Amino acid sequence: MLLEYSFATELTGLTTPVKSIKLNHSNLQIINYKLFDELNLPKNWQEEHSLFVELFSEQGKLNRHSVAQKYGGHQFGHWNPQLGDGRGLLLAEVIDPQKQRWDIHLKGAGPTPYSRGADGRAVLRSTIREYLASEALHHLGIPSSRALALISSEEPVYREKQEPGAMLLRTCQSHIRFGHFEYFFHSGQTEKLQQLFDYCFKYHFIDCLAADNPYRALLEKITQDTAKLIAKWQAFGFNHGVMNTDNMSIHGITFDYGPYAFLDDFEPNFICNHSDPQGRYSFDSQPSIGLWNLNSLAQAFTQHLDVEQIKQVLGQYESALMNEYSQLMLKKCGLVVDKSPNSNNVEIVNGWLDILATEKKDFTISFRQLCEFDAKGENQTFRDQFIDRDKFDNWAKLYSTTLLKQTITQQDRQAAMKRSNPKVILRNYLAQQVIDQAEDGNFSLLNEFIKALEDPYADKKEYDKFSLPPPNWGKKLEISCSS
């Protein structure tokens, strides 16, 4: 294993050294063994004592150069320069066997200069939610930060009420955000902004240096990756909830999980964050907000790109998002790519979504049931689930006709659809059940749920209880940003 501290040592003007502080009565509760092995992390770190030595002692490799990062961000559309790592620390970077660089980051590590008077801690509730979400999205095929370990404790943390404190050890390519670039641009710190650009080219976007204009290539890469990420969110019914620019990664990954939700009933205007009454970050607003955020980021490129160049790059966003989204939706519906002007594919996909939205059908379950659609049969049981039978019949007729023209066999088509439509997703009511048990000291359901989320497309009996529709009380749980 090779540990490096390049961000801490090469960007000293962008960081503040801070040591992590252990929670009282801590326990190493959950370990992501597979990810530990993939990153080639030391086996002894899977032991509580050894990991805690590395995380919290003066001699520990993970506490030696720990830093808090400074950044700003547009929060609900308003610029806020007073942000930064208020409860998280960048500990080190590990180079995996494929020579890929990964940040090792500890969330809930204690106060930093950017905590704004807060305690710098995280509660068990939000820590469990982030662990579950990051692993759930990853195994669905949606780029995300990853969870390495969850540390529970008996130390009380005060939010709306007293809750047990916890920590999350997580990893991703880097924790560099749109807000990093925005902060140094808006504060006029051009030298530090250039240092950040140079660092990104050196360690994360070296391929861009071969382009005629590396800065344009970098903005294009971030734009494309962001578009593809949000297309995946839309295709799988994921609502992030807090798409502030300080929560947007330059690597096109999902991170900084707060009041997220996967859709239950398909409501395009669904709002998962009860602190967002205007619906700025509603489900169907996510694509447009992605572009808004990229426009905010692009201002930091104005020393290297003119307005027309920036417009050309950002002009690629919509087509990149729609192309990715279309490909995903065709796979979910079992339709082959057909570029013919007479293709029915778009009408079929949009018609199906319209039926689900009109009748408020469960998004994930409905797509999973669609995998069993018989193009030659009556599909009576399936049909009976819908109120407007005429509307369903008209859609089903067009769908059947189109499927029968495809060369793929029905059996192969149905199997392929199941590889694109998960059986198990992270529903908020299930997460709440896990949290309730964990707060009582029982982590068995959490471990069981993690295993199901690691294999979301499988049709296994032992996962059936995690694939049921939510009860009425679990459909619209209010989730806040507090953690």
Where among 141, 161, 178 does a domain terminate? 178
Q: What is the DSSP string of 401-464?
A: HHHHTSSS-HHHHHHHHHTTS-S----HHHHHHHHHHHHTT--HHHHHHHHHHTSTT---GGGG
Where among 178, 213, 247 does a domain terminate? 178
pLDDT by residue for the chain (483 residues), tens digit each? Answer: 689 999 999 999 889 999 999 999 999 999 999 999 999 999 999 999 999 999 999 889 999 999 999 999 999 999 999 999 999 999 999 999 999 999 999 999 999 999 988 899 999 999 999 999 999 999 999 999 999 999 999 999 998 899 999 999 999 999 999 999 999 999 999 999 999 999 999 999 999 999 999 999 999 999 999 999 999 999 999 999 999 999 999 999 999 999 999 999 999 999 999 889 899 999 999 999 999 999 999 999 999 999 999 999 999 999 999 999 999 999 999 998 876 666 899 999 999 999 999 999 999 999 999 999 999 998 999 999 999 999 999 999 999 999 999 999 999 999 999 999 999 999 999 999 999 999 999 999 999 999 999 999 999 999 999 999 999 888 877 776 556
In a domain, 263, yes or no: no
Task: Write down the pTM of the prediction.
Answer: 0.96
In a domain, 409, yes or no: yes
Structural domains in the chain (count): 2
- Residue 343: per-residue pLDDT: 83
- Residue 246: per-residue pLDDT: 97
Task: Using alpha carbons, select from 295, 176, 286 the residue that is nearest to residue 240.
Answer: 286
In a domain, 28, yes or no: yes
Where among 418, 443, 461 does a domain terminate? 418
- Residue 473: per-residue pLDDT: 85
In a domain, 276, yes or no: no
Which residue has tokens 């198990």? 424
Question: Are β-strands 122-123 and 238-239 bridged in parallel, bridged antiparallel, or unpaired?
Answer: unpaired
Q: Which residues are catalytic?
A: 246
In a domain, 106, yes or no: yes
Range of the domain at 131: 2-178
In a domain, 156, yes or no: yes
CA-derived radius of gyration, the chain: 23
- Residue 338: per-residue pLDDT: 74
Give the bridge partners for 107, in sequence order.
Answer: 88, 168
In a domain, 110, yes or no: yes
Contact (Cβ atoms closer than 8 angstroms) between residue 127 and residue 107: yes
In a domain, 234, yes or no: no
Q: How far is the C-alpha of 436 from the C-alpha of 429, rounded, in Å? A: 11
**SS3 readout for 47-79:** CHHHHHHHHHCCCCCCCCCCEEEEEEEEECCEE
- Residue 160: per-residue pLDDT: 84
- Residue 23: per-residue pLDDT: 96
